[in-house]
Structure 1
């Protein structure tokens, strides 16, 4: 079972915007550029990079997606903070 993960994310308020960002990624847009442009999280300035974190450190829905979702495939996650376009880089 993985104990740590590293991820990038873009935080937005509305699902429509998250869907649009996901569509842009599928067309080849760069995750880091979209994070800098759209993310309301301070990590947006760093291209959405959350670095490495331990299991249980993030809010439950986000944590579950990071530790069970596909690696390197952007996905949407809804939390109390809004909609996250999440890309898990690796798990250890």
Structure 2
């Protein structure tokens, strides 16, 4: 079982905005460009949503669950206390 993962994310406040961005991703738009223009997380503006590598348990539970259990490279939608995240898992080790 993986102990670390790396991911990109786009954080927005509202579910409808998250679905709008998810549809753009499905049409092939660039994840990092969308993060820079829409994410309310500082990682969006600074690094295109790149969270780097993190250990299992370092993120809030719902986010952690997606990063360590969901299919890699498919964007996933997850709600946390911070808002709605569109998550793209880069890898697990």
TM-score by length of 2: 0.98
Where does structure 1 differ by over 2 angstroms across 4 or more consecutive aligned residues?
none
CA RMSD in angstroms, aligned pairs only: 0.4
Where does residue 43 of structure 2 map in the other structure? 43
Structure 1 portions without partners, runs of 5+: none
Structure 2 portions without partners, runs of 5+: none
- Mapping of 1:10-29 within 5 angstroms? 10-29=10-29
Where does residue 69 of structure 2 map in the other structure? 68
Where does residue 53 of structure 1 map in the other structure? 54
Structure 1 residue 22: Cα displacement:
0.4
- Give me the whole-angstrom Cα distance separating, in 2, the residues matched to 1:63 and 1:17: 22
Q: What is the aligned length?
A: 92
TM-score by length of 1: 0.99
